[in-house]
Chains A and B, each alone.
Chain A
């Protein structure tokens, strides 16, 4: 850790809040690809605090690949007013604090964030990680012990009757992931 301003990341989590987040990237290789946007929402108890949503669009060093535009719908011109990477990541860290992080294939999103904070702060994200596809797997496997569990996002949405928010973007995906988490854990 080379920046005391971010020591709060290591503080004990004081309240029962969680963060669900998702990133949109230029591709699936954390080594080469870059973050286009980050979306995050808080969960408190049984509520998704959409009134305090986090969403940021990030300026990129390279041109966006045409294929990936089809997936995330973010065009060059959408990023005209985007913020630079450093500021975006810092804002994100302030938003998440030391709260546990929830996500779907979180490993990838965390690796994307780490790629930036490692050189900035000399650390990787210290937060507790909660993987929804893992909770889903454990829940399903008790129902069908030898079964093949389909872990695709859309399958989980369908099985748990979660509304599809339509457009795929970081915030919507985070909200849907949050709904899955609530449905898996609230009973």
Chain B
């Protein structure tokens, strides 16, 4: 007999050992351990001990090398860097691979709530790391780990939406003809290729001939079929790369109101993507919703569409579509509704004398379900502003009726404050650049996300140019605006369950806690560097192009933003009341989502530090 007793795992008695199975189950439920083979897992379980550490025990620090890999059964542990809580680990979490692999680290791990945990001894853990999959997980940096988790979250049903590319779908052959070819010869070639359209190549330029062109210009017009094809070509070509996502193709079609896209590979035309094929591929209703909006003749029609829109979001989300695509699509559809309502309420003679704009999340195209209306009307100088009172009241009422909720801050065209002529708006901008009041910063922030909806687009352009000029090199006021990023603490410590906002049943505020800091910070940087995009992700990309933030950080920010938005969208779809939808209870999230959330908050903290440094916020009071 072995000294120290029998090892029951040898299964000497041939009896099923339940307790060991329980442990095994728990370990198996923790990613990435489920990737291990059954026999490796068996070996591992035999090597694991249970340890108990009372509150405040220091587990790992610079001077206290890590001796084991810990998997928490109960209790919580804080990871502290530079006296700040960097992460909180709770039941089901594990730590800390880095300390074991690199034998050093800046982190301190302290027990925050009496800890009962499994311990995998250092040597056993390192042996485990021989497994490529496990190694890949623990050695990967934030971005790939984050993506890894997300894919895992999407589950086995890897959605066609996420991964389908243009190259995955049937493409019609492209009938490309030279501009000098006769219409007759072109048509023969089109017939041979069974193509729906003719693409006309004129030097380096391409244009398209559709059946409509032929009907209007040849059959009904006076152009002879022996004439050059270039004579009937009209529409320009909108193309998409063969490696782009199908979802983007759908977006372009919805945006540009076209029925087909020319597909290119290395900038050469390789085929034509037909809307019909695309739609049947996805079999969802996004385009149908768009068409219905166009066809709507009354408010009642638009109102009836709201359910379709909601179903669309639910179905897209369940298919695993990235939230940034969902929000873009929803924003595009909402803009269509806005336009339609504008046409219903504003007399044709007035339409070119003003510009209707949306601001806030609608302006950023980050709207998911209906958020508060944030809109304004810019009126041409010299036009009597009072003639717009009645149509704007009507517009506001119509939007409310359709289901765009009232804005608590009254940022709506029905409010005189947000319905001014250009000069008056310029005065407002001037006042923002001199006043340090909280109200000014709020108004400015809302306006910075402006997006044109209907009317004369130039009016908004003029104001935005004026705005950028006014704030150019005004680092003092920019720092003052940026300061709001630090207004709310990132709720990392919330995971241990102590600091959740009591009045909201132990839930944390996603918007205040994370999304706001990111959106506002990126917005302020965009103002500073004259970035014109309003969408947060596009702004981040632009800022990266300008060299303000590096590629890696930009990707981290985008991934974090996407994760936070996804979790928020989930909460929104579940809750009835808009005010509740920003609140989530981390304990009700799945483990993986919780990890994504924590990772995201870490990046938000990093971003806050970046902002503090960039704008010298410590010096601004």
Question: Which A residues contact B (CB, under 8 angstroms)?
Answer: 39, 42, 46-57, 73, 78-79, 81-83, 91, 94-95, 161-163, 165-167, 169, 171-172, 175, 178-179, 182-183, 186-187
Contacts and interface: CB of A to CB of B under 8 A. Distances in A.
A182 B47 contact: no
Interface string B4-26: 11111100111111111011000
Contact of A56 (B9, B13, B116): B13
A169 B19 contact: yes
Which residue among A48, A50, A165, A175 has the maximum number of chain B CB atoms within 10 Å of its CB? A50
Contacts of B13: 56-57, 81-83
B19 A46 contact: no
Contact of B52 (A57, A165, A172, A182): A182
Nearest to B113: A161
A52 B5 contact: yes
Interface string B399-412: 00000000000000
Contacts of A161: 74-75, 114
**Which 4 pairs across A and B sit closest by C-beta, in order of nearness?**
A95-B5, A81-B14, A182-B52, A171-B19
Given A50-B49, A163-B74, A167-B22, 16 more contacts: A50-B48, A51-B47, A52-B4, A53-B19, A54-B8, A55-B8, A55-B17, A57-B13, A91-B6, A162-B116, A163-B116, A165-B19, A165-B22, A167-B18, A167-B19, A183-B114
* Majority SS at the chain A contact face: mixed
A48 B5 contact: no
B51 interface: yes
A185 B193 CA distance: 84
Given A91-B1, A171-B17, A46 B52 contact: yes
B6 A54 contact: yes
B52 to A, nearest CB: 4
Name the interface size band of chain B.
20 to 34
Contact of A51 (B1, B14, B17, B48): B48
Contacts of A48: 49-52
Contacts of B322: none
10 contacts: A42-B4, A48-B50, A56-B6, A73-B18, A91-B5, A91-B6, A161-B75, A163-B74, A167-B22, A172-B22
Which residue among B7, B13, B23, B54 has the maximum number of chain A CB atoms within 10 Å of its CB? B13
A166 B49 contact: no
Contacts of B50: 47-48, 50, 175, 178-179
A183 B15 contact: no
B15 A78 contact: yes
B328 interface: no
A93 B621 CA distance: 72
B15 A82 contact: yes
A21 B362 CA distance: 64
Given A186-B54, A187-B54, A175 B14 contact: no
B46 interface: yes
Interface in B17-69: 17-20, 22-23, 46-54
Contacts of A178: 50
B556 interface: no
Contacts of A47: 49-52, 119
A103 to B, nearest CB: 16
A186 B136 CA distance: 37
Contacts of A162: 74, 116
Interface string B64-82: 0000000001110000000
A46 B51 contact: yes
A179 B6 contact: no
A54 B17 CA distance: 11
B5 A166 contact: no
Contacts of B17: 55, 171
Contacts of A51: 46-49
A186 B50 CA distance: 14
A146 B23 CA distance: 40
Contacts of A82: 13, 15
A166 B8 CA distance: 20
Contact of A46 (B16, B18, B47, B53): B53
Which residue among A55, A79, A179 has the maximum number of chain B CB atoms within 10 Å of its CB? A55
